[in-house]
Amino acid sequence: MSDPFLRAFRVYIWGSVIILLTGLGFFVIFLLIRSAKAISMENLSIAGEIFPAVTGTLTVTVLGLDWLHR
């Protein structure tokens, strides 16, 4: 089998990975840039209020599952 064909095969495999990573990376960077504009003290304080509720719910769920498992 000719060497250029094998090289093309290798390029194709790496190309697929590069397409995937570039696409995902581009999307994540885009979201980060857009989200950064939305961060303000008001939003952060709302997040601060929600945080204990989320962690509390998680703790109760984990403890409940642990109790059921005994």
For other proteins, the binding residue among 2, 4, 17, 35 (CB under 8 A) is 17
Phi and psi torsions of 11, nearest 5°:
-65, -40
- The DSSP H or E segment spanning 7 is helix 3-38
* Contacting range for other proteins; rule: CB under 8 A; set: 13-21, 37-45, 46-54, 61-69: 13-21
32 counts as binding other proteins under rule CB under 8 A:
no
- 21 vs 44, beta carbon nearer other proteins: 21
30 counts as binding other proteins under rule CB under 8 A:
yes
In whole angstroms, what is the distance from residue 46 CA to residue 62 CA?
25
